[in-house]
Amino acid sequence: MESSKLKTIIQGIPKAELHLHLEGSFEPELMFEIAKRNNINLPYDSIESVKEAYRFNNLQEFLDIYYAGAQVLLHEQDFFDLTWAYLTKVHSENVKHAEVFFDPQTHTERGVAFDVVINGIHRALEKGKNELNISYKLIMSYLRHLTEDAAFNTLESSIPFKEIIDGVGLDSSEMGNPPSKFKKVFKASAEHGYKLVAHAGEEGPAEYIWEALDILNVERIDHGNRCLTNEALIKRLVNEKIALTLCPTSNVALKVIQKMDEHPVAKMLDKGILATIHSDDPAYFGGYMNENYYQTAKALNLSLEQIEQLAINAFEASWLSKASKERHITQVKEYFKSL
Ligand SMILES: Nc1ncnc2[nH]cnc12
Ligand SMILES: [Zn+2]
């Protein structure tokens, strides 16, 4: 299909984003603006030089830059502006529902209070719901390069806000930090009523996906690329309808795959896995939702049925009520019928 036609079709799809780190949506322009008003010097002299620095060979090289960028966020208004910029961007891409991560420890570790972070984010999410009609869920992610005790401190800080936090996740440096390291804090998080997800099988082996399922009891896997190396795991994912929140442009940028045409999403759909696609850290990897759909569809030559399935899967895998899921899925189906 012609590129412009494919782009137009993708733009019109009602979409759900389930794997997005708010700190990863921090565009250099906004970073410079906030750094200026907070009197912080960035180690870059222009927006172009920031973009130059965004060349990564692996997850860790990205994380080092991502955590450095987040240092300019100090005040509630900064977190509001970050979140609002993301919401207005994806509103223009017809995203109807967003389940977003934030990394409290990236901020509390450098002295920014938990309530400053969450109040700014929550105020923007509410505004997005009221003014842009984007429903949302909020996921607090534990940093896996830190200790389980540190995650417990974060869990404790979150309790006064538990009505506005829907779930917990696990992100940051995967290799050497298996899900099993966080067994107790995930159990405690579930006891507080949080839903559970974890990054697994992005750089790490299929074994980490098993651990996330069996030891942490997560209901969705973030990334999960490596599952295709293990037939028994594929069967489990299919039988239990465990969704994978894949992030194609992230995978290329972090060299999880060398080229987009190696992306496993088409094989996963063929096998009946509840595969979905999202943007992860769009400010760093050069693509929001539309670009992820577009690059994947183009490189893998996805059919309209496969693209429709991806859009449906994302609502199916979301934490929306059954009725809301059905309403959105009907809209996706009607949209594709109208093409
Ligand atoms: N792709 C990713 N993997 C692990 N941790 C992250 N934090 C932000 N983006 C991440
Ligand atoms: Zn991620």
Buried b (16+ CB within 10 A) or exposed e, 300-330: bebeeebbbbbbbbbbbbbbbeeeebeebbe
pLDDT digits (tens, 9 = 90+) for 198-238: 999 999 999 999 999 999 999 999 999 999 999 999 999 99
List the residue whose alpha carbon is closest to atom 5 of ligand 1. 172
Query: For the complex shown, is ipTM > 0.95?
Result: yes
* CA 52 / ligand 2 centre spacing (Å): 22
Average pLDDT over residues 100-125: 98
* CA 56 / ligand 2 centre spacing (Å): 15
Q: Which one of 59, 146, 221 would you pick to mutate in the ligand 1 pocket, going by the greatest count of ligand atoms within 8 A of its CB?
A: 59
Average pLDDT over residues 255-259: 98
List the residue whose alpha carbon is closest to atom 6 of ligand 1. 172
Q: Which segments are annotated as binding site for substrate?
A: 281
pLDDT digits (tens, 9 = 90+) for 136-183: 999 999 999 999 999 999 999 999 999 999 999 999 999 999 999 999
- Catalytic residue of the set 27, 202, 203, 291: 202
Size (the chain), residues: 339
Task: Give the pLDDT confidence score for residue 132 in this predicted structure.
Answer: 98
* CA 135 / ligand 1 centre spacing (Å): 23
Query: Is residue 202 annotated as part of the catalytic site, yes or no?
Result: yes
- Is-contact 198 169, C-beta < 8 A? yes
List the chain domain ranges.
3-337
- Is-contact 309 156, C-beta < 8 A? no
Quick one: pLDDT band at residue 268, thresholds 50, 70, 90? Answer: very high
Helix axes 304-317, 289-300, angle to 10 degrees: 140
- Sign of the dihedral through C-alpha 163, 186, 257, 27: positive
Write the DSSP assignment of 274-300 as a string of letters. -EEE--BSHHHHT--HHHHHHHHHHHH
Share of the chain above pLDDT 90, in %: 98
CB atoms under 10 Å from CB of 76, counted, come to 19
Quick one: pLDDT band at residue 282, thresholds 50, 70, 90? Answer: very high
1 pLDDT higher than 90: no
* CATH number given to 3-337: 3.20.20.140
Q: Which residues contact 150 (CB under 8 A, 6 or more apart)?
A: 105, 142, 143
Task: Please state the atom number of ligand 1 nearest to the C-alpha of residue 66.
Answer: 8
- Is pTM beyond 0.90? Reply is yes
